[in-house]
Structure 1
């Protein structure tokens, strides 16, 4: 089985995330995508993030109607820092027969060699890099060649149309809305979120 691994804070998960997962499945004929909400991220202040349970539940709601997309809670099952190389090793142990594909953004590729144990990441999974309009393809290919000179890696490009949405923007819209009208007006953030996710946010008073 070909399994894509798509990690992130997903705070909250939005339609752009689901679109990127579907593009990866389509372009590389993946059998499934595992959404992996970050547990104890080394790159974010955990106290500033929405509780894992809420982010996990929102991922479940956003993906339940999308064939082939599943959600994993693997990064919250222990107290250690959730380094990508550790998560991938755990997933490989869980699914030893699967061919793993790790999905990452083009901006992350720019400093990939400074991640914790990037060589182990490359040993464990094929790396799919989402190419955006603001990252010239030639520049990406040069960066890939540089990484391959450092350690063996199978890095492939994943073309993804630009979507002007981010979790930061969605949170900002939701906070502005909650202050103005208590979420009642169907504008802004709702266009970026699955309806079930928006209902969950309202029911749990998130992002106020």
Structure 2
């Protein structure tokens, strides 16, 4: 019998920091979106965009690892740390497919990114080689009747939480522990991250 390939969702982001919105979305996609597992692909610092607010790559990876440790279908990945910069999605997906031929990778993006997808590097190649799951974002309507065959919309729960809001709240001294996984909250508090 032919070996079934593992359906792996690729959820890329800076995760600065990872919050419950990310976790709820990924949890939903694993349980209801037809994926076997999800890899949280932590994006490295872009050398062309020096972002003062972006924490060190390894601290962000550590927070992702802490947040997902109890759920066997999640994996934290530093795969992009070792790719040429800036790392484009098409190149990352192609390299992942080479490195892990037993997996079938699905790109997970928000409706905001889908709206700008034609401006990405090689969007046609991404859709030709890989499945894409688009999740809703407020203010972005997706024309589901004109989607390419390998692109599907999954109506995930909408949690309007952003990492920007969390960084801002922490810098103002707010206690927003319930927006974060307890272990992530602990790391932020212990290392005094995002404080002014």
TM-score by length of 1: 0.84
Following superposition, the deviation at residue 44 of structure 1 comes to 5.0
Q: Map residues 160-175 of structure 1 onto 2, 5 A cutoff.
A: 160-175=156-171
Task: Give the match for residue 194 of structure 2.
Answer: 207
Does 1:111 find its partner at 2:116? yes
Worse-matched range after superposition: 76-85 or 40-49? 40-49
Q: Map residues 92-171 of structure 1 onto 2, 5 A cutoff.
A: 92-136=97-141, 139-141=142-144, 144-145=146-147, 148=148, 154-171=150-167
Q: Distance in 1 between matches of 2:158 and 2:189?
A: 28
Where does structure 1 lack aligned partners over 5 or more consecutive residues? 178-184
Does the C-alpha gap of structure 1 residues 75 and 129 become closer, same or farther in structure 2, counting only changes over 3 Å? same
Following superposition, the deviation at residue 100 of structure 1 comes to 1.1
More helix by share: 1
TM-score by length of 2: 0.89
Task: Give the match for residue 81 of structure 1.
Answer: 86
Aligned-residue Cα RMSD (Å) equals 2.0
Following superposition, the deviation at residue 24 of structure 1 comes to 1.1
Task: Specify the SS of the correspondent of 1:159.
Answer: coil
Following superposition, the deviation at residue 201 of structure 1 comes to 0.8
Q: Is the 8 A contact 1:41 1:83 kept in 2?
A: no
Q: Distance in 2 between matches of 1:100 and 1:207?
A: 33
Equivalent pairs counted in the alignment come to 190
Where does structure 2 lack aligned partners over 5 or more consecutive residues? 1-5
Task: Specify the SS of the correspondent of 2:64.
Answer: helix
Task: Specify the SS of the correspondent of 2:95.
Answer: helix
Following superposition, the deviation at residue 43 of structure 1 comes to 8.8
Q: Is the 8 A contact 1:132 1:161 kept in 2?
A: no
Q: Is the 8 A contact 2:136 2:158 kept in 1?
A: no
Q: Distance in 1 between matches of 2:153 and 2:114?
A: 11
